[in-house]
Amino acid sequence: MEKKYEELKTRLLEINDINAATAVLGWDQSTYMPPGGAAARGRQLSTLGRLSHEKFTDPAIGHLLDDLTPWAESLPYDSDEASLIRVTRRNYEKAIKVPPMLLAAMYAHGAATYQKWTKARPENDFAGIQDDLAQTLDYSRQIADCFPGYDHIADPLIDFADQGMKAASVRQLFAELREQLVPLVQAITAQPLADDSCLHESYPEDEQLAFGREIITAYGFDFARGRQDKTHHPFMTKFSLGDVRITTRVQENNLNEALFSTLHEAGHAMYEMGINPAYEGTPLAEGTSSGVHESQSRLWENLVGRSRPFWNHYYPKLQAAFPDQLENVPQETFYQAINKVFRSLIRTDADEVTYNLHVMIRFDLELALLEGTLEIKDLPEAWNSRYESDLGIRPSSDVNGVLQDVHWYGGLIGGAFQGYTLGNIMSALFFDQAVQAHPDIPAQIELGEFGILHGWLKENIYQYDAKYTANELIERITGEPLTIDPYIRYLYAKFGDLYELPA
């Protein structure tokens, strides 16, 4: 058995190497590649993607898994060997169910649609991309139908991103959250808008980047095992556990942009840097779920990086870095500015309170499209009326409406958005547990010390990566299934104080 296990690991390592090469090419494409490289790069990425898929769906992997599964089931559930075989088997069974022809057609369609979208968006041309989106919906249904026996057609697609979650369970969770969020948004937006003009002075790029690097170094981002570069849409990528890259973008007249995208992506990266080194090159180091990953970026971005104790420490440093812009701005004004709540049209610009309403609109529309109760041609109108009813604001065009997010124009319709809100919910759940274990964490943050929090996250979350599903991880940490309670308590405490709302 040990010999077969080693053979499986050798094969998985080879696949991992191909995927890492793909990641390097993808990172380069989004950072330094000249425009002339685009066509060849697309072909190279698709060749490597096909090679990796062929190697992973090789029947030899299936035979090894068949032979090893009884052995794995005789071992403790959370042993590394049993976990590696269990997780690989789960991924393998998903991979072999989708016919390679369908997958190739879907990828080619996704790449072509993405190219069209980069033009359709600035030109506000939904009509021009509508037929492509209808084709994407058709592919999404075909992919879901490769997994018969689902309760809801979105279930297989949700499961790709957030394993173990279903349309029904997410709907239930979102309905509870919505019931709590809507009155909070109403109470806050009934008050005068916070003045955030201090964030829109001119802030030189190099100083912005240096300040972000200072913070994430203190967080525990290890520059010996990572780096930061500039891009158009910030992301994190990993080539190995010793080489984790983050990207950011800088706007000279918007202090939010580089600062908070840096804290966010560093949260993703620190998770990857904290994975058990023994999992290197195996599916155990390929990530738990989009929700758990997002919980770690949101935790460092919002629960730490937009908190009062954090800025008690960092605001004097920020003022010293930008004396002309901030010397005469009181800390409270700055704190209100970075936590300004407002009814907005763009998801990625949304504040902590309204953000989840943006996600729920997209999630509900995905379900309606997949169910067939909404047609693509009616999508812009459905989008706009949901913004009007949920956020009290109607998009003036599809550019700040249905054309704004890349997800449906390069991937599938279904499963694309719920992870963001699941991540928000989990970020508060995990932070709450860390503070229960170490009540001095807020006082430490106030001193600019993050080691205790980082250590708790490594110990309880990072090291395991894909060994446990999101639901298993939450049960292990809290002893209960996922609940919105800590998140609601967090939002009401923070914004109740900020906006002096009645308790």
One-letter identity of residue 491: L
Candidates 75-83, 291-299, 357-365, 480-488 — which segment interacts with Zn ion by CB under 5 A? 291-299
**Do 427 and 434 contact (CB within 8 A), yes or no?**
no
Q: Which CB atom, from 297 or from 427, has the smaller least distance to Zn ion?
A: 297
Q: How far is the CB of 400 from Zn ion (least distance, A)?
A: 21
Q: How far is the CB of 290 from Zn ion (least distance, A)?
A: 8
Q: Which CB atom, from 84 or from 236, has the smaller least distance to Zn ion?
A: 236
Q: How far is the CB of 154 from Zn ion (least distance, A)?
A: 21
**What contacts 149, CB < 8 A, 6 or more positions away?**
none
CA distance 123 to 251: 23
- Of 361, 353, 346, the residue nearest 174 (C-alpha): 361
Report strand pairing: 226-230 vs 236-240.
Answer: unpaired
Structure token pair of residue 146: 């490769």
Structure token pair of residue 460: 């309880």
Which residue in the block uniquely carries the two structure tokens 């300004």? 340
Q: Point out the residue whose Cβ comes nearest to Zn ion.
A: 297
Contact map string, positions 415 to 434, toward Zn ion, x by CB under 5 A: --------------------
Q: How many residues bind Zn ion (CB under 5 A)?
A: 1
Count other C-beta atoms under 10 Å from residue 307's C-beta: 18
CA distance 495 to 503: 11
First to last CA, the chain: 61
Q: How far is the CB of 294 from Zn ion (least distance, A)?
A: 5
Q: How far is the CB of 480 from Zn ion (least distance, A)?
A: 25
**What contacts 105, CB < 8 A, 6 or more positions away?**
139
Q: How far is the CB of 268 from Zn ion (least distance, A)?
A: 6
| Burial track 444-470 (b if 16+ CB lie within 10 A, e otherwise) | bbbebebebbbebbbebbbebbbbbbb
Q: Which CB atom, from 297 or from 325, has the smaller least distance to Zn ion?
A: 297
Out of 288, 289, 297, 336, name the contact with Zn ion by CB under 5 A: 297
Q: Which CB atom, from 114 or from 235, has the smaller least distance to Zn ion?
A: 235
Q: Which CB atom, from 300 or from 409, has the smaller least distance to Zn ion?
A: 300
Candidates 35-43, 105-113, 148-156, 292-300 — which segment interacts with Zn ion by CB under 5 A? 292-300
Q: Is residue 262 a contact residue for Zn ion (CB under 5 A)?
A: no
Q: Which CB atom, from 231 or from 297, has the smaller least distance to Zn ion?
A: 297
Tell me whether residue 265 is one of the annotated catalytic residues: yes
Q: Which CB atom, from 336 or from 421, has the smaller least distance to Zn ion?
A: 421
Q: How far is the CB of 143 from Zn ion (least distance, A)?
A: 24
One-letter identity of residue 497: D
Structure token pair of residue 12: 């998985």
Candidates 112-120, 279-287, 297-305, 365-373 — which segment interacts with Zn ion by CB under 5 A? 297-305
Candidates 94-102, 108-116, 208-216, 295-303 — which segment interacts with Zn ion by CB under 5 A? 295-303
DSSP of 435-473, one letter per residue?
A: HHH-TTHHHHHHTT--HHHHHHHHHHTGGGGGGS-HHHH
CA distance 439 to 376: 50
Residue of 14, 179, 265, 280 marked catalytic: 265
Candidates 17-25, 183-191, 244-252, 290-298 — which segment interacts with Zn ion by CB under 5 A? 290-298
Residues at the site binding Zn ion, with contacts judged by CB under 5 A: 297
Catalytic residues: 265
